[in-house]
């Protein structure tokens, strides 16, 4: 039976709580972090927020621990009218959402771009989610600091869009081939430099790969994409007497 504690209620009737599919997935690591303190306090000190239908707006990890440990759940019922955007705001205020949290949220809301992104994240675990977003959205260029800020803002609001997916697949396939010769193939700076190089009008992939097999030892872990680009151009032009690639001034 529920008992009212000021504006907060407490219950062990876990059936009243509903886990919203558009919320981020439950993370075992997060459960492990909050479980010890919740066991010490015999429940959640910070109230869980639900809507009148029992959908958990904020606090799904706390509810999960309470259910698993048979602890009472303190909760508040908020008025009608909460949107999916409110759900994000509530959760990011308490614990920042990751890139994949947003992807899961918008995928469950039916956005195919985020659904595809999750598949790429699963298929290419060696690449950071940020790099995959830049590749898929066509914003992985070396002068992209301002663009990256715009992409992040748009991404968190559901505005992520995939452009030229065939080109992305080709780039990813090539990166996997480069992996055989250079261990830093998945570094953001390297991918920025390689993306710039491969976008050159006269770039020949087969020629580049043949030169990389010989000159890969000349590649270092440079901090910037510009440095990688210069090094990759030198690799490309090695022993090449004609049709050398020239960087724009």
Same domain, 85 and 114: no
87 neighbors 20 (Cβ within 8 angstroms): yes
- 249 within some domain: no
User: pTM (2 decimals)?
Assistant: 0.66
Same-domain check for residues 136 and 74:
no
Would you say residue 122 lies in a domain?
yes
Boundaries of domain holding 205: 100-237
* Of 97, 113, 142, the domain-final residue: 97
Say how many C-beta atoms besides its own lie within 10 A of residue 155's C-beta.
21
- pLDDT value of residue 24: 79
Question: Do residues 113 and 179 both lie within one domain?
Answer: yes
Both 226 and 108 in one domain: the answer is yes
Domain match, 147 and 176 both:
yes
Residue 113: inside a domain, yes or no? yes
pLDDT of residue 62 exceeding 90, the answer is yes
Give the percent of the chain with pLDDT over 90. 48
Residues 29 and 55 in one domain: yes
108 & 220 share domain:
yes
What tens digit of pLDDT does each residue of 169-227 get?
999 999 999 999 999 999 999 999 999 999 888 899 999 999 999 998 888 889 999 99
Which residues are 9's β-sheet partners? Answer: 4, 75
Least confident of 13-17, 76-80, 158-162, 223-227: 76-80
Which of 59, 82, 97 is the C-terminal boundary of a domain? 97
Q: What is the domain-level CATH number for residue 7?
A: 3.90.1530
Contacts of 127 (CB under 8 A, 6+ apart): 175, 186
31 within some domain = yes
DSSP class of residue 125?
T
Same domain, 128 and 229: yes
CB contact set of 173 (below 8 Å; sequence gap of 6+): none
Q: What is the pLDDT of residue 22?
A: 78
Report which of residues 53 and 247 the model is more confident about.
53
Q: What are the φ/ψ torsions at residue 152 (nearest 5 degrees)?
A: -60, -45
pLDDT at 2 over 60: no
pLDDT at residue 229 tops 70 = yes
Q: In terms of domains, do 202 and 115 share one?
A: yes
Pairing between strand 48-50 and 3-5? unpaired
DSSP conformational letter for 200? S
77/169 same-domain check: no
> Do 108 and 216 belong together in one domain?
yes
Number of domains in the chain: 2
């Amino acid at each position: 039976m529920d008992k009212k504690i000021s504006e907060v209620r407490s219950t062990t009737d876990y059936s009243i709580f509903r886990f919203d599919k558009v919320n981020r997935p439950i993370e075992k690591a997060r459960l492990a972090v909050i479980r010890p303190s919740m066991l010490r306090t015999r429940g959640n000190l910070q109230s869980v927020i639900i809507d009148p239908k029992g959908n958990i707006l904020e606090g799904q990890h706390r509810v999960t621990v309470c259910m698993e440990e048979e602890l009472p759940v303190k909760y508040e019922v908020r008025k009608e009218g909460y949107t999916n955007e409110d759900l994000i705001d509530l959760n990011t205020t308490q614990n920042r959402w990751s890139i994949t949290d947003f992807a899961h949220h918008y995928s469950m809301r039916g956005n195919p771009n985020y659904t595809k992104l999750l598949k790429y994240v699963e298929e290419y675990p060696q690449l950071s989610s940020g790099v995959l977003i830049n590749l898929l959205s066509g914003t992985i260029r070396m002068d992209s600091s301002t663009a990256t800020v715009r992409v992040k803002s748009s991404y968190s609001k559901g505005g992520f869009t995939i452009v030229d997916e065939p080109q992305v697949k080709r780039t990813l396939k090539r990166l996997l081939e480069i992996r055989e010769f250079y261990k830093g193939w998945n570094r953001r700076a390297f991918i920025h430099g390689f993306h710039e190089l491969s976008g050159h009008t006269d770039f020949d992939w087969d020629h580049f790969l043949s030169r990389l097999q010989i000159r890969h030892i000349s590649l270092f872990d440079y901090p910037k994409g510009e440095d990688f680009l210069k090094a990759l151009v030198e690799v490309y032009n090695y022993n090449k007497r004609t049709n050398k690639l020239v960087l724009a001034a």
